[in-house]
């Protein structure tokens, strides 16, 4: 989609529809946002008539499309409810934006002028508002068509003009750059994640990373093959891929936007392109969604792409261990003991707890970059979905400053996280009679014990772990990848670049 920032009155812009916000229970001269209050008297009277007959009250979540505007250059007006006339919370602002764009997924609407950037949002400015418009509109307009014979999408929207006061133009333009970068990163992650496991294999993921490197010279890409991992002693990672006919890949992307000697931020994303559970086979119901076990890896690529698009002055490394987890005569068996790159031996009590087996060797590999911080993200445990639902991602880590920065970034990006404890007492559950560690800790506190396992491989750097099992994709009728936590990671990178 083509976005632009406009300072002209919204009524003068030649588009298929204009979007105006409407407050609830206000006098006529106080019910519209400033761009609405600047409309012609004739158009304001028409809006007042629509409101007076009860078509819309102004509640958040309401919208009405005025399809016929007599004697006017304006073709259509979408009225969107804003609730009471007071600053909106960031999440309610995004709800307003979502209501607006979902109301305009009409085949005949190809261009819109949006006045919603001028709404006052608690603790936010026009830069943030504009960025959210781009993110929310792009997210709602995304539709997977890559493997459909009919490539037609529900939305035909091509152009969005965002109106703003002239004094806010520079701030809005900055928000537009951020929004476009993050939206592209989210779309990339969603499109990659929505592919089925027979298309998106570890080799395919590696090819997509290489393609990113070709398209964006700021990114350098290196692919480690199984022979390379064998030479490094990644016995834990390679034990997972033994059951698959698809060779494992360790994908490394580097973005050098900062000073040459500046320590990088390392992002590690789980890239399991299909997880059948191995010998500890998963139930058949819902197993198709295990193509989404690579969402962490896709999000890392998306975050790197966003950093490139925003030209952030920092150094970022993305590491993606990619494999399948399948049942086979050579697959891991419950009770097998493997040796990690760190030299720690692991008793595999459940082959379906494979994510930590590929992540632990990748965390050890991350040390060679001398990182400032390491953040791993993985669709790791169903226990996280049980504990937190689908609203926040789980957060654990060994550094309070890093975890607090991620919490703050999540609040700003409306991509929430909730921190769980990483107490020493939980480590007791990972004890093994036969190896240094067991790969599971029993049914209690599954999300925490998974992070406790990873913590053994993150002792030499500041580290945080994001469990995105509940937030990386949607199930049911609207099944599909969400692209999370690309907005969270992007905001963290923006904050780091500004510090």
Question: Would residue 431 show up in a list of annotated catalytic residues for this protein?
Answer: no
Tell me, yes or no, if 59 is annotated catalytic.
no
Count of CB atoms within 10 A of residue 382's CB?
15
Mark 399-416 as b/e (b = at least 16 C-beta within 10 Å). eeebbebbbebbbbbbbb
Which of the residues 94, 270, 291, 356 is marked catalytic? 356
Show the CA angle centred on residue 275, arms to residues 269 and 280, nearest 5°: 125
Which pair of structure tokens corresponds to residue 269? 């994303």
CB within 8 A of 497, min separation 6: which ones? Answer: 257, 312, 313, 314
Residue 422 makes CB contacts below 8 A (sequence gap 6+) with 396, 397, 398, 448, 451, 452, 455
b/e sequence 269-303, b meaning 16+ C-beta within 10 Å: bbbbbbbbbbbbeeeeeeeeebbbbbbbbbbbbbb
Whole-number Å distance between alpha carbons of 129 and 462: 32
Which one of the listed residues 282, 419, 462, 474 is annotated catalytic?
A: 282
Whose structure tokens read 């602002």?
Answer: 93
Fill in the DSSP letter of residue 199. Answer: T
H or E segment at 336?
Answer: strand 336-339
Residues in the chain: 499
Cα angle 302, 303, 309; round to 5: 90
CA dist 219 and 315 (Å) reads: 11
* DSSP structure class, residue 121: B
- Antiparallel, parallel or unpaired: β 417-419 and 480-481: unpaired
Distance from C-alpha of 294 to C-alpha of 320, rounded to nearest angstrom: 9
Q: Quick one: how far is CA 77 from the chain centroid?
A: 32
DSSP 472: S
- How far, in Å, CA of 123 to CA of 451, rounded? 33
Strands 315-325 and 373-378: unpaired
Give catalytic residues, as residue numbers.
Answer: 282, 356
């Amino acid at each position: 989609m083509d976005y632009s920032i406009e300072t002209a009155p919204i009524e003068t812009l030649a588009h298929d529809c204009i979007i105006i916000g409407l407050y609830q229970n206000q006098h006529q001269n106080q019910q519209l946002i400033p761009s609405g209050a600047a409309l012609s008297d004739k158009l304001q009277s028409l809006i007042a008539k629509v409101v007076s007959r009860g078509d819309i009250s102004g509640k958040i979540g309401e919208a009405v499309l005025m399809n016929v505007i007599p004697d006017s250059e304006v073709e259509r007006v979408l009225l969107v409810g804003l609730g009471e006339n007071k600053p909106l919370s960031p999440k309610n602002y995004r709800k307003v934006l979502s209501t607006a764009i979902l109301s305009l997924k009409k085949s005949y609407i190809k261009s819109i002028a949006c006045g919603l950037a001028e709404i006052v949002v608690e603790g936010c400015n026009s830069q943030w508002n504009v960025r959210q418009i781009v993110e929310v509109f792009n997210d709602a307009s995304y539709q997977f068509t890559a493997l459909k014979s009919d490539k037609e999408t529900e939305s035909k929207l091509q152009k969005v003009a965002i109106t703003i006061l002239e004094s806010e133009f520079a701030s809005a333009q900055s928000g537009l750059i951020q929004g476009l970068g993050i939206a592209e990163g989210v779309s990339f992650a969603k499109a990659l994640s929505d592919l089925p496991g027979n298309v998106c294999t570890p080799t395919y993921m590696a090819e997509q990373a290489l393609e990113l490197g070709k398209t964006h010279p700021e990114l350098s890409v290196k692919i480690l093959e199984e022979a390379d991992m064998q030479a490094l002693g990644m016995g834990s990672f390679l034990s997972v891929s033994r059951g698959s006919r698809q060779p494992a890949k360790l994908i490394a992307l580097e973005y050098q936007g900062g000073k040459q000697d500046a320590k990088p931020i390392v992002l590690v994303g789980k890239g399991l392109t299909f997880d059948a559970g191995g010998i500890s086979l998963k139930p058949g119901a819902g197993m198709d969604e295990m193509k989404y076990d690579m969402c962490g890896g896709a999000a890392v690529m998306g975050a790197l792409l966003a950093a490139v698009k925003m030209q952030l002055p920092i150094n970022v490394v993305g590491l993606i261990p990619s494999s399948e987890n399948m049942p086979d005569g050579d697959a891991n068996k419950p009770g097998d003991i493997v040796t990690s790159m760190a030299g720690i031996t692991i008793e595999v009590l459940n082959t379906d707890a494979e994510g930590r087996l590929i992540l632990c060797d990748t965390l050890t590999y991350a040390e060679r970059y001398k990182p400032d911080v390491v953040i791993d993200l993985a669709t790791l445990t169903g226990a996280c979905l049980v504990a937190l639902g689908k609203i926040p991602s789980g957060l654990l880590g060994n550094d309070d400053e890093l975890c607090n920065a991620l919490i703050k970034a999540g609040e700003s990006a409306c991509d929430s996280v909730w921190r769980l404890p990483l107490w020493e007492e939980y480590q007791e559950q990972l004890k093994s009679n036969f190896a240094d560690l067991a790969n599971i800790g029993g049914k209690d506190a599954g999300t925490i014990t998974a992070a406790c396992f990873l913590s053994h491989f993150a002792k030499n750097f500041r580290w945080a772990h994001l469990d995105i099992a509940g937030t990386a994709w949607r199930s049911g009728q609207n099944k599909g990848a969400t692209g999370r936590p690309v907005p969270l990671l992007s905001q963290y990178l923006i904050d780091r670049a500004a510090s």
